[in-house]
Amino acid sequence: MAGPLVDQFQRRITYLRLSVIDRCDLRCTYCMPERQTFLPKAEVLTLEEMHRLALGFIARGVTKLRLTGGEPLVRRDMIELVRTLGRKLGDGLDELTLTTNGTHLAQHAEDLYAAGVRRVNVSLDTLDRAKFAHITRRDSLPAVLEGIAAAKAAGLTVKLNTVALKGGNADEIPDLIAWAHGQGHEITLIEVMPLGEVEEDRIDHYLPLSVVRDALAARWTLQDEDHRSGGPARYVRVAETGGRLGFITPLTNNFCEGCNRVRVTATGQLFACLGGREQVDLRAALRSADPDAALSAGLDEAMRIKPERHHFEIDRRGAAPALSRHMSMTGG
Ligand code: SAM
Ligand code: SF4
């Protein structure tokens, strides 16, 4: 029987981030262009294929599954998928969670909780409606705030993700943190990453989190925390608010040695590293004569090719993105 997933650098892979759809109802300027071309439906894995794929990972020792996108909650059969996967909780799976923009969270929060989801990450870059409309190109802030409130009311722990944008939300970050902590939510700041062509030059928005952190430290007492997620986030406790604040600086690669994750796109392409090109076609495996065996072989291949570290670069103005695929493909 095939054993746990261990790569050639002895890292054990226990976390899968699965993109369930490439489509989205927002058009965040740093993520995708207004006229994004989406995939034909036949290219995207069906509900059954997603399920089989996830079971294949769980059978090989993956205990944490995050569903993402695109916007996962715009997939029609999303709740059915969550319900099906939720049945593996306590039977191989320790945690089932999702990352969402929150626009459809209000209508689904209770179903998610009932299916076994206990935590959701919601992306929120600003509390200012006009700024939100500018950053996401859609006027959806009220729906997102309603979604966050509904999630909390349904018993879900909400963690906010905020991309730090020079000229976008830089001035508002302390207020956003204070608001999040006041609502009882953890918040994590993310540096803009060079993934996929968008219409603006991302370096114009690149705001190093070291700068943000220094500004926050001038206002608050930031106490380092040991808490680690096995990912690129580092955490502090803000003494004055009592809340937890994370910093994700993916362009530094000092977290790669503890990497515990792989990503699969909505078309079943496994990416061994967010910042690399190494990939395995798991859809071909799923659509082969012996899908379970082919899938397991695909996972072995992924362990062989997972790179030691990523190779992002954002230092050259006007340079092409370090990788041509969008974050909406790999789900962040
Ligand atoms: N649509 C969902 C959402 O926005 O939460 C899930 C997918 S989205 C691609 C996942 C995360 O990636 C979001 O928190 C988003 O802000 C972040 N993201 C997208 N493009 C990014 C980029 N170029 N650099 C850094 N973060 C990015
Ligand atoms: Fe959609 Fe999320 Fe990308 Fe924004 S970050 S465009 S919400 S996929």
Task: Say which CATH number the domain at 293 has.
Answer: 3.20.20.70
Q: What is the pLDDT of residue 205?
A: 79
Q: Is residue 19 part of a domain?
A: yes
Beta carbon of 31 within 6 Å of any ligand 2 atom: yes
pLDDT at 192: 85
**Considering the domain boundaries, does residue 3 fall inside one?**
no
- The answer as to whether 161 is a domain residue is yes
How far from the centroid of its chain's Cα atoms is residue 208's Cα? 20
Q: Is the CB of 328 under 6 A from ligand 1?
A: yes
The pLDDT of residue 317 is 46
| Ligand 2 geometric centre to CA of 24 (Å) | 6
Q: Is the CB of 20 under 6 A from ligand 2?
A: no
Q: Specify the DSSP element, H or E, that contains 22.
A: none
| Residue stretches of the chain with pLDDT short of 70 | 1, 194-197, 199-203, 229-230, 251-254, 312-324, 331-332
Domain containing 160 equals 15-330
Check residue 315 and give its pLDDT.
46
Whose tokens are 């018993």? That residue is 155
Is the CB of residue 54 less than 8 Å from the CB of residue 157? no
Q: What is the CA radius of gyration of the chain?
A: 19
In a domain, 8, yes or no: no
C-beta of 135 in contact with ligand 2 (< 6 A): no
Calpha distance 320→329 (Å, rounded): 18
**Helix, strand or coil, per DSSP, at residue 147:** helix
Over residues 278-320, the pLDDT tens digits come to: 999 999 999 999 999 999 999 999 999 999 987 765 444 444 4
- Per-residue tokens: 304: 């062989």
In degrees, to the nearest 5, what angle opens at C-alpha 86 toward C-alphas 81 and 91?
135
3-state secondary structure of 196: coil
Question: Residue 133 burial by CB count (10 A; 0-12/13-18/19+): exposed, middle or buried?
Answer: middle
User: For the chain, what is the domain count?
Assistant: 1
Question: What are 42's two structure tokens?
Answer: 């036949």
Closest C-alpha residue for ligand 1 atom 25: 192
d(CA 133, CA 141): 8
CB of 329 sitting under 6 A from ligand 1: no
Contact, 295 vs 53, CB < 8 A? yes
Write down the pLDDT at residue 195: 66
- Residue 26 in any domain: the answer is yes
User: What distance, in Å, lies between the first and last C-alpha atoms of the chain?
Assistant: 32
Give the closest residue to 278 by CA, choosing from 307, 313, 237: 307
Q: Does residue 34 contact residue 329 with C-beta atoms inside 8 Å? A: no
Q: Give residue 321's pLDDT.
A: 56
pLDDT given for residue 216 in this prediction: 96
Cα dihedral 215, 216, 221, 222, rounded to 10, equals -110
Quick one: which ligand is closest to 265's CA?
1
Q: Do the beta carbons of residue 128 and residue 172 sit within 8 Å?
A: yes
H or E, element range at 287: none
**Residue 318 within any structural domain of the chain:** yes
In a domain, 6, yes or no: no
2 lies in some domain: no
